[in-house]
Structure 1
Amino acid sequence: MNILQRNLKYRSLNFKENLGESYKLLQSKNSFSLIFLNDPFYQIAVPYYLKSLMKLEAGRLNNLNTQCKDIEQTKKKWEEEKRNVEALVRSIAEKKAYIERKKNEKLAYLEKIRTQKRYQQQVVATLERESKEIEQMIRKLASSNIQKAQKGRLSWPVIGSITSGFGIRRHPILGGAPLFHTGVDIAASYGTPVRAAASGRIIFAGWYGGYGNMVIIDHGGKISTVYGHLSKIVARVGEEIAEGDIIGYVGTTGLSTGPHLHFEVRVNGDPVDPLSWLIR
Structure 2
Amino acid sequence: MKHKLYTIQVIPPDSGKTKIYKIHRITWKIFFWLLVIIVLFSLVLAYKMAEINTLIITSKQIKFQNEKLIEKQNEYALYFEQLDSIYSIENKIQNILQTYYENDSNKINSILEKNKFNHISSSKVKLDVEGLEGWQENAQNKDMDKIPNILPVIGIISKKYSEEDTHYGTDFAANQGDPIFATASGSVIFAGSKDDLGLTIILDHGNGYQSSYSHLQRISVRKKAIIKKGEVIGFVGSTGNSTGPHLHYEITLQKQHLDPETLFNE
TM superposition score normalised by structure 2: 0.43
Which structure dedicates a bigger proportion of its chain to helix?
A: 1
**TM-score, normalization by structure 1:** 0.41
